[in-house]
Amino acid sequence: MIRKFLGLLILLFTCQISIAQQGTASPYSFLGIGDLKFKGTTENRSMAGMSIYSDSIHINLQNPAAYGNLKFTTYTLGASYSQLRLESDAGTDKGSSTALEYLAVAFPITSKMGLGFGLVPFSSVGYRFEGIGESGIASAPYKFAQYEGEGGLNSAFISLGYQITKGFSVGATVNYNFGTIENQNTEFLGELNDDGLFFRTLNYGTRSRDESKLSGLSYNIGAYYNTKFNDKLSLTTSFTLSPKSDITSRNTRELAALNITAAGGEIVSPGQVDIVDLGDKQKTDLVLPTKLAFGAGVGEKNKWFAGAEYTLQNNSDFGNGLTTIENVNYENGSKIAAGGFYIPKYNSFTSYWERVTYRAGVRYEDTGIMVRNESINDFGISFGVGLPMGRTLSNVNLGVEFGKRGTINSGLIKENYVNFHISLSLNDKWFIKRKYN
């Protein structure tokens, strides 16, 4: 057992680089600390991201109270692939991203207590904009600007859940959040040719690069209550709270003059780089907002479940502390999600597809982001299946999500996305006393 535990620790730390990769292509990831990434396991996201349901063989990474219900050691690993179609008044574009979504392990300590730990992405930055504006200089009347960003915030967590009485569990999670966000702005002066295309008339440009190294702790508490209506039907209620927490950001800014080669390449000479003194902006405190979620559902054990969940998040303190963006405001955000699953016959010996778990959900989210007085809302529908692996309790989970976010009003961008999710949920038994040597 010790070898398994050490192996998992090594796997978690070696996957840190992979999970910190650019996991979004959304233009809205330039806001605040990026696009909020983790929205549940593949099982949860296939049901619109609800965190209500809990059982003894799956890890629920959103509500730590669920660890009190575990009966087996469970390993879970999830990944995603996203496709974006971007629309604006100027035309359309496409983008895509691939990312490791989460990696975790959980196991029961006693019949009423469970422990889990792992690594998940909290936010991700990955954008690139280009634009042309007036420079105010007669010899080069237009300014070409390119904005790029990458990085994000990750969370290494440890969770503990405890079953106080039959049907009632509580839990808590401690997260260590860390990561780096880089934002870069490159500008050149020039003119427009007869076709309306920009070309440089000067052989130099400027580049500003900001880097923010983030670190800090955050917390999450949760509770579950399950009671039976009769021999078949039961009611499940869920509650989670993430209190407001601080993240420290250590910031640097680099300015560079760029020389343009005859072939259009960019060269930075050592003497043309300047590190800016940011004064009191070298170290800033960010706020991860308070998040509250509660929901309820009804179902029949090993057969079906249906529920709804409401989430409220105070986004008014969002920002990255170094870069100020005009015409962007943050308000309280909210989300309503409804979904569930159905298993035709979980113990069927004659049909594999009767043992498959079929999931679906729908959600609507007011993100709390206001750009040019336009609300950035998000709507999505999701579907998924849980495929048993032989006669074991382990399974492969597949999910797909279709949605749209944003608007083309006021010169903004609307995203039409398709997210594909896959995860493994593997079960084992630890802490079993041997009867024979």
- 335, 305 Cβ separation under 8 angstroms: no
Query: Measured between alpha carbons, how far is 17 from 162 in angstroms, rounded to an integer?
Result: 32
Segment holding 351, helix H or strand E: none
Strand partners, 399: 384, 421
| Residue 260 CB coordination number (10 Å) | 15
Residue 90 lies in a domain: yes
The predicted structure's pLDDT at residue 7: 46
Query: Measured between alpha carbons, how far is 361 from 419 in angstroms, rounded to an integer?
Result: 14
Residue 36 lies in a domain: yes
Residue 437 lies in a domain: no
| Residue 228 CB coordination number (10 Å) | 11
pLDDT tens digits, 208-233: 999 999 999 999 999 999 999 888 89
Query: Measured between alpha carbons, how far is 133 from 114 in angstroms, rounded to an integer?
Result: 58
The predicted structure's pLDDT at residue 197: 73
Give one DSSP letter per residue of 81-117, joined into a string: EEEEEEEETTEEEEEEEEEEEEEEEEEESSSSEEEEE
Residue 435 lies in a domain: no
The predicted structure's pLDDT at residue 19: 45
Residue 283 lies in a domain: yes
Residue 256 lies in a domain: yes
What distances in angstroms separate CA 191 from CA 187, 200, 260, one per listed residue?
A: 13, 6, 16
Query: Measured between alpha carbons, how far is 25 from 150 in angstroms, rounded to an integer?
Result: 10
Among candidate residues 197, 189, 200, the one with its CA nearest the CA of residue 134: 189
Tally the residues of the chain: 437
Strand partners, 131: 145
CATH number of the domain bearing residue 274: 2.40.160.60
Residue 436 lies in a domain: no
The predicted structure's pLDDT at residue 12: 43
Among candidate residues 86, 104, 110, the one with its CA nearest the CA of residue 96: 86
Q: How many domains is the chain partitioned into structurally?
A: 1
Domain around 308: 2-428
The predicted structure's pLDDT at residue 324: 62
Instruction: Evaluate the CA torsion angle 370, 371, 372, 377 in order and state its sign.
Output: negative
Query: Measured between alpha carbons, how far is 237 from 206 in angstroms, rounded to an integer?
Result: 56
pLDDT tens digits, 65-92: 999 988 889 999 999 999 999 898 878 8
Residue 434 lies in a domain: no
- 123, 149 Cβ separation under 8 angstroms: no
The low-confidence residues of the chain, meaning pLDDT below 50, are: 1-21, 434-437
The predicted structure's pLDDT at residue 309: 97
The predicted structure's pLDDT at residue 1: 42
Segment holding 71, helix H or strand E: none
Question: In the structure encoding, which two tokens stand for residue 396, read together?
Answer: 């492969």
Strand partners, 384: 359, 399
